[in-house]
A and B are shown apart, each in its own frame.
Chain A
Amino acid sequence: MRSVPTWLLTAALLTFFLGPFVWQVLTSLRPEAELTAPGLPRALTLEAYRSVLGGRPFLHVVLNSLVVATATTISCLAVGASAAFALAKLRFPGRSLLLGAALAVSMFPPIATVSPLYLALRAVGLRDTLGGLVVPYATFALPLTLWLLTSYFRQLPDELYRAARVDGCTPFQAFRRVLLPLVLPGLATTGILVFIFSWNEFLYALTFISSPGKRTIPVAISLFAGEHAEPFAEIAAASILATLPLVVLTVLFQRRIVSGLTAGAVKG
């Protein structure tokens, strides 16, 4: 039997985390007339969803977000995994310095980097392109990627790397054929975090993109308000739609994340 305090704490936590989400769902389903009414809605309608998906280029916005977040995640993991492998398993001078420097980069407040980045992106012709979001996103997500993946690689026994080398692998082959498959759970976890970061990012997306056709979800939702009087239901519906892919992604990879793929690598 669970004790009463545990039970209460669980309930409180669930309310804290799920409450706003539930409220959002309810808001998105209320008929327009009831929007500001207190309590549970008396009727439910999908009007807001119809309006979001039909009346605006919302699917196009979702697609933009998907492209940006996917490209960011893939480039981050590609660069991050090879760098993390080198940091964790190879010996070269200055590797702790490198990890420290990566951490320092992630300390810059984004707001302080907006104008220089804007100028830089304009100079290389990436302003107002989706690529112009991928580059800074990947840059800012890389330190976290590096730290997480380095710790995943460190958990793999050194002898696995050595065995692969003695079996004839070059360092890169040892990485690709032996170590990389073993950090797949780590890659999935890290990838989801990077994906969520890019999916939710607002400041750069607002500043660097001017064409409505290239907006990403957070910016598009924030601009609903200017166009309609009180689009609460639609904002709620759009938020729900924007959250769903993340939920699906996390659930899909959950098994990967918790699986102990490395079991049996060494004695035990």
Chain B
Amino acid sequence: MTLERVSKVYRGGVAGVREVSLDVADGEFVSLVGPSGCGKSTTLNLIAGLEEPTSGTLRIGGVVVNGLSPRERDVAMVFQSYALYPHLDVRRNLAFPLEVAGMPRQRIRERVEETAALLGLTELLARRPAELSGGQRQRVALGRALVRRPKAFLFDEPLSNLDVGLRAQVRGELKKLHERLGATFIYVTHDQAEAMTLSDRVVVMHAGEVQQVASPRELYLRPANTFVAGFFGAPRINLVPPEVLGLQSPGEGLEVGVRAEALTLGLGEAPPGAVRGRVYLVEPMGSEAWVTVEVDGHRLVVRAAADFGGSSGTPAWLTVDREALQWFDAATGKRV
């Protein structure tokens, strides 16, 4: 699947996406991630054929699909709200795409039962969507996509309506499902952790434009700009002028990015080369604590032991692992 400089300008001049180029290999799991309104759903809708691009070329399996209806594109989509057909029971919901395609009844029956068994929906086939829990609805939505055996699956924030415990479970199941099916998955989420854990590659979007396409590891270690750097990793990367940490800047007008794990925090006597500040905030996270330290009016988040002894106002010092620094142009935000 290939997107070549695809743009979508909505009626009224709102740009949904600008010049998105993307190559997705067969069987790849690719996530689109970015804050709300950055054009993730627009991109999916363009691929599905629910929207037509204003410019650019879209290919699926080597064929240009611009102008083709969703029906002719052979992709399935799972929606955030699940979009189950409320007047049909689970069996008819699952059968729907096959019925529309005109498949013989007997084969529809077999496929539906096979899919239901795979997803543990067999007991629920006679129920209406209104009689299902959130997790069950999500499964039915997934089943309705699976039953078609399409070339590619599109997911638009499929987990965001589940509660936290269930979300982690279904996330794992999705990954296993992808391994088993070997189909192309394109997965939209605003949750960086979801994108990181699931995908082969991640597409980071911001304000309708692609910021970076890379593996999760690569994004974390070598973000293309401060937006990507700030989007991935918890706690957020610290972006400060180098002199705050007593660092020598390799160029003019640069900002340094330091991950929390590249900083060491201590109380009391400062070792040589450390910078001094005060504890601003302590957030216990269970196995560790996130400590915000104020240095020279700049706040930096540091990981500390769970039994960290300081509290707001306590004087503290920081040392920096100079191997783990990332440099950005302060004006453009680009990595240097």
- Chain A residues whose C-beta falls within 8 Å of the C-beta of B82 in the assembled complex: 266-267
> Which one, B79, B97, B128, B131, contacts A162 given CB within 8 A?
B79
Which stretch of B1-9, B70-78, B281-289 is in the interface?
B70-78
A113 lies within 8 A of chain B by Cβ: no
A155 lies within 8 A of chain B by Cβ: no
Given contacts A159-B81, A173-B100, contact A182 B87 (CB under 8 A): yes
A167 lies within 8 A of chain B by Cβ: yes
Minimum CB–CB distance from B144 to chain A (whole Å) comes to 7
Contacting residues of chain B (131-179) with chain A, CB-CB under 8 angstroms: 131-132, 134, 137, 144, 148, 154, 161
- Chain B residues whose C-beta falls within 8 Å of the C-beta of A262 in the assembled complex: 86
Q: Contact check, A157 vs B87: say whether CB atoms are below 8 A apart.
A: no
Q: Contact check, B97 vs A267: say whether CB atoms are below 8 A apart.
A: no
Bound-state CA distance A262–B84 (Å) is 10
Number of A-B contacts (CB under 8 A): 84
Minimum CB–CB distance from A167 to chain B (whole Å) comes to 4
Bound-state CA distance A14–B191 (Å) is 57
Given contacts A165-B70, A166-B77, contact A267 B87 (CB under 8 A): no
B101 lies within 8 A of chain A by Cβ: yes
Q: Contact check, A169 vs B81: say whether CB atoms are below 8 A apart.
A: no
Q: What is the total number of residues of chain B having a CB less than 8 Å from a CB of chain A?
A: 35
Q: Contact check, A177 vs B100: say whether CB atoms are below 8 A apart.
A: yes
Q: What is the total number of residues of chain A having a CB less than 8 Å from a CB of chain B?
A: 25
Bound-state CA distance A170–B82 (Å) is 20
A54 lies within 8 A of chain B by Cβ: no
Contacting residues of chain A (147-170) with chain B, CB-CB under 8 angstroms: 157, 159-160, 162-170
Q: Contact check, B75 vs A167: say whether CB atoms are below 8 A apart.
A: no
- Chain A residues whose C-beta falls within 8 Å of the C-beta of B48 in the assembled complex: 162, 166
Q: Show 20 A/B contacts (Cβ-Cβ < 8 Å), sorted by A.
A: A157-B81, A160-B83, A162-B79, A164-B85, A165-B70, A165-B71, A166-B48, A166-B75, A166-B154, A168-B101, A169-B71, A170-B69, A181-B87, A182-B86, A262-B86, A263-B86, A263-B130, A264-B84, A264-B130, A267-B134
Which B residues contact A (CB, under 8 angstroms)? 11, 45, 48-50, 69-71, 75-77, 79-87, 96-97, 100-101, 128-132, 134, 137, 144, 148, 154, 161
